[in-house]
Amino acid sequence: MILDMFSLSGKTAIVTGSDTGLGQGISKAFVEAGAKVLGVSRSASTATQEMLGEENFSYITADLSTIDPVDTIIGTALEKFGRLDILVNNAGIIKRQDSIEFSVENWDLVLNVNLRTLFFLSQAAAKQFVKQNSGGKIISVASMLSYQGGIRVPSYTASKSAVKGLTMTLANEWAKYGINVNAIAPGYMATNNTQALREDADRSAAILERIPAGRWGTPDDLMGAAVFLASSASDYVNGFTLAVDGGWLAR
Ligand code: NAD
């Protein structure tokens, strides 16, 4: 039956950036759909665990600005669950500074978290899926700036545009293993990531005016797309970046 295709019952997932914001919403969606989730964040995902229950959601802390934690993350998921079905690359940061002044630190940090670690974690998850001979799902969180240039965010735009391209490359190479690699491009969502924008009255008004849905998105708005791309309902969806943006890109 069609609704059974959306079930994540018996599935196990790693969600990075699970302590707050969109990663917390995706973890909630997966648990409600029947999965067990291992969260990975810079700080402890205690609030997420309180919301979802220890039996459904466990977490580790890791600094994803280097690839050092990659083996530990996959190893912990296997220790806890015995197998891995889904990886969500959600952790990400943004640094705002005029491009003419943009620092090497702000370039490297954003590219390391948003792209370098995303690639090597995806590679490690894919190796595990191949070893299990099970197929799997990899979902990365892209951005409107996978499609547009933005202002004062050169490293973020570079990273998120690359995530969209990389999603296609990995889908091309790994579809033969039954691995679906896709991305979600959230629009303007009310999380820490956009706090500075929302506090800037002029920028906030200009953004809201352009969103056909007439409001900022919330973590709950991503839940349907995340479950779709993690479930067998999307088994023939490969290499696509799905916008969940209240119509922003349609303008
Ligand atoms: P957020 O700032 O609330 O969350 C960012 C998450 O990334 C946190 O869980 C944090 O722990 C994790 N993280 C950051 N640096 C890390 C590091 N070095 N090591 C480990 N974890 C690290 O913002 P959010 O909006 O929930 O962002 C989630 C994702 O969505 C990001 O990739 C962001 O770029 C993307 N995104 C957000 C929006 C939006 O409007 N909020 C729009 C498009 C894309």
Using a 6 Å cutoff on CB, does residue 48 contact ligand 1?
no
> What's the gap in Å between 17 CA and the centre of ligand 1?
6
Chain centre distance of CA 13: 12
Return d(Cα 158, Cα 162) in angstroms, integer. Answer: 6
* Any ligand 1 atom below 6 A from CB of 192: yes
Q: 184: which strand partners?
A: 141, 242
Ligand 1 contact via 22 beta carbon (within 6 Å)? yes
Q: Which two tokens stand for residue 72?
A: 């530990």
Residue 208 forms part of a structural domain: no
In a domain? residue 206: no
Residue 199 lies in a domain: no
Residue 211 maps to a domain: no
Residue 234 in any domain: the answer is yes
What b/e sequence results for 188-214 when a residue is b if at least 16 CB atoms lie within 10 Å of its CB, and e otherwise?
Answer: bbbbebbeebeeeeeebeebeeebeee
Q: Residue 245's closest CA among 200, 183, 202, 155?
A: 183
Contact criterion met (CB below 8 Å) for 13 and 37: yes
Output the residue whose Cα is nearest ligand 1's atom 43. 143
Render pLDDT for 69-98 as a digit per residue (tens, 0 to 9).
999 999 999 999 999 999 999 999 999 999
Per the document, the length of the chain is 251
Domain that holds residue 52: 2-190+219-244
Does residue 204 form part of some domain? no
Walking along the chain (251 residues) 10 residues at a time, the average pLDDT comes out as: 97 98 98 98 98 98 98 98 98 97 98 98 99 98 98 97 98 98 98 91 93 97 98 98 98 92
State which of 193, 203, 223 you would mutate to test the pocket of ligand 1, scoring each by most atoms of that ligand within 8 A of its C-beta. Answer: 193
156 to each of 58, 108, 176, 178, how far by Cα in Å? 29, 10, 31, 30
How many percent of the chain have pLDDT more than 90?
A: 98
Task: Please name the residue whose Cα sits nearest to atom 10 of ligand 1.
Answer: 17
Q: Please spell the DSSP secondary structure of the chain, one letter per residue.
A: -HHHHT--TT-EEEEES-SSHHHHHHHHHHHHTT-EEEEEESS--HHHHHHH-TTTEEEEE--TTSSTTHHHHHHHHHHHHSS--EEEE---------GGG--HHHHHHHHIIIIIHHHHHHHHHHHHHHHHT--EEEEEE--GGGTS--SS-HHHHHHHHHHHHHHHHHHHHHGGGTEEEEEEEE-SBSSGGGHHHHHSHHHHHHHHHH-TT-S-B-GGGGHHHHHHHHSGGGTT--S-EEEESTTGGG-
pLDDT at 218: 97
Specify the CATH number for the domain of residue 76. 3.40.50.720
Does 200 map to a domain? no
Among the atoms of ligand 1, which is closest to the Cα of residue 94?
Answer: 34
188 lines ligand 1 (CB under 6 A): yes
Q: Is 64 in the pocket of ligand 1 (CB under 6 A)?
A: yes
Question: In this structure, are residues 37 and 57 in contact, taking their beta carbons and an 8 Å threshold?
Answer: yes
For residue 12, tell me if it sits in a domain. Answer: yes
pTM of the model: 0.98
Structural domain count, the chain:
1
pLDDT the model gives residue 193: 87
- Quick check: is 177 catalytic? no
